[in-house]
Structure formats: structure tokens, C-alpha cells
Amino acid sequence: MVIPNEILPVAQRPCFEGAYYRKLVSSHDYWRGIEGTVILPAIVFDEDRKHPKKPGQYLDNPSIYVGGSMGNQETDIGLTWEVVREENGQISKQRKAFRPFLRRTEHASGQKAIFENAPTQKEYYWYPGEEVKMSLVLLADKKVRFVVEGAGKKFEKDFDCDGYLLNTVGEFNRVNAID
């Protein structure tokens, strides 16, 4: 299908060093968001790659996320393999479930870079084999909404991003990564 005035994506882009990932990126155009559905992967860790400073954790950490870039500000927002709060109230030493995270870079407006996780609550834990739908939508100037839902659970958060403006071109992406 031909879309009038559509800007096509470039054929290839350089990769971020230090991670293994598959990244699908839109063209640089007037987008308002991205959504997708995925079955969370089964994970088999390399026993020779344990984290020397965090017993019970591995150096490799899988994540599945969406994000974008507008106004010289980037976002990565999705699910990463994380620690959980155990039934006894303690935080696990091992990563045991996919949990939502939100990351943005700083912006020329003075907005600071930030990385945050969803609370360590079981209603925000997803597990390998579960199907989830993720979306990231530009709601208004400087405001995006992230939603992940599936397996009877839902996490939703509005997130401030000064570079994301309704009348600005940008790009959105979907990433499967091992960091």
C-alpha cells in the first residue's frame, strides 16, 4: 500500500555496541506511536556468565521493548528480566520475571535522563511463554503513555518526554535484546 508523502526507513543502521539485539525501526516521519504483541521468550542462561558481584544473577539480561526518538530525545520502554518481591516480602537475589521499565535520555529543555522500573508487585510480573501486548503512544506534547497487558495483568503509565511533540517528526522501534 502506498501512503502519500510517506518517508521510507533506511535499509541499514549502525548498532549499539555491547548488546545483542534485533531492532526494527520506522522511518523518520510523523508517527504517533507503536504497538505489538509478543510471546515472552524461554530463557536459558550460560552458566559461565554469572555476575561476579551479584550472586544468583547472570551478566546477560533479556528484554523486549518499544521506544523511539523525537526532538533529540530517546526512549526505551518495555519489559526486562528483573528481580521480584518474594512471598516473604524479601527482594529475590535472582531475576525471576519480566517487569516493566521506562527509560528516557536527557533533553535540551533541561529534562533529566531517567530509568525506572514498575513496582515489585506480582501484578506487574510476566513470565516466559505468556503473550503480552505493548504500546507506546504520544498522547500530547511532551507526554507518552506506555501500556503492557496480557495474562490477566496490566501496567499503564504516562511518562514525560520533552522531545516528543505532536507536530514533530520522529521514529519508533521494537527491540528484542540481551544486554
pLDDT of the chain along its 179 residues, tens only? 667 777 777 676 666 565 666 778 888 888 899 999 999 999 999 999 998 998 889 988 899 999 999 999 999 999 999 999 999 999 999 999 999 999 999 999 999 999 999 999 999 999 999 999 999 999 999 999 999 999 999 999 999 999 999 999 999 999 888 87
With CA atoms as reference, report the closest residue to 23 among 73, 58, 63: 63
Task: Fill in the DSSP letter of residue 29.
Answer: B
Quote the CA–CA distance of 133 and 33 in Å, as a whole number: 14
pLDDT at 23: 76
Strands 62-70, 170-178: pairing kind: antiparallel
User: Amino acid letter at 152?
Assistant: G
Question: Which pLDDT value is given to residue 12?
Answer: 67
- For position 176, what pLDDT does the model report? 86
